A and B are shown apart, each in its own frame.
Chain A
């Protein structure tokens, strides 16, 4: 159980365009979803926390207007990178928590974003 999917797995976009990444919990209801960013050979950096039906809480230094997060249902959260630039190229990973099993977060497989 506890499967989280992400779509797409890889995306290439041109500088200045926007790209949307979906995160779905397949077999449980996720009251909270998290979005992370990971640069090569580095740790995961939490970008924002989102609760279903509420506005996302962004970490310090993360631009809210650039990284739009929507958590419209208990199984879906989306991250939209607006006006992407090459420095936004990274590995984006979501995780989901049902809140029922304590603190366990289940991670998606990640999305590799390349901005040309």
Chain B
């Protein structure tokens, strides 16, 4: 119940295209859903996060879509650029506990 399932495992997108990464969870107590970007040999960096009271959040080229009834959320990267090539992790946590449960990661490659 504590798992967060992430797909796809890897993704190749052409420059200018849309990258879509999906995550699903079981625990309905989760109420914070962040996405992290990680470059090789570096720590993860927070990209964008959403709480279940909204269905969508947009920051620049990054959008989170959240479907509470389906217990799914996704990251959309618009106008993908080669510099977006990295590993992306979704995560979830419960208020007050702060402990993050991470997805398995998606390696994104944006071809020039």
Binds A, one of B38-46, B54-62, B65-73, B74-82: B38-46
B43 touches A102 (CB 8 A): no
On chain B, the residues within 8 Å of A103 by CB distance are 32, 34, 49, 93, 95, 98
The smallest beta-carbon distance between A36 and chain B, in angstroms, is 9
Q: Is A67 an interface residue (CB 8 A)?
A: no
A103 to B93, CA, bound (A): 8
A95 CB, nearest partner CB in chain B, Å = 8
Q: How large is the interface on A (under 10, 10 to 19, 20 to 34, 35 or more residues)?
A: 20 to 34
B104-A43 in contact (CB<8A): yes
In this complex, how many residues of chain B approach chain A with their Cβ under 8 Å: the count is 21
A49, A105, A109: which contacts B42 (Cβ < 8 A)?
A: A109
Number of A-B contacts (CB under 8 A): 54
Majority-rule SS of A interface residues: strand
**Do the beta carbons of B43 and A104 come within 8 Å of each other?**
no
Interfacial chain B residues near A102, Cβ < 8 Å = 32
**A107-B93 in contact given A43-B102, A43-B105, A46-B99 (Cβ < 8 Å):** no
With A103-B98, A109-B42 as known contacts, state yes or no: A42 contacts B105, CB within 8 Å: yes
- Min Cβ gap A51→B in Å is 10
Q: Nearest B residue to A108 by beta-carbon distance? A: B43
Q: How far is the CA of A95 from the CA of B93 in the complex (A)?
A: 15
Binding site for B on A (CB under 8 A): 4, 6, 32, 34, 41-44, 46, 49, 91, 93, 95, 97, 99, 102-110, 112
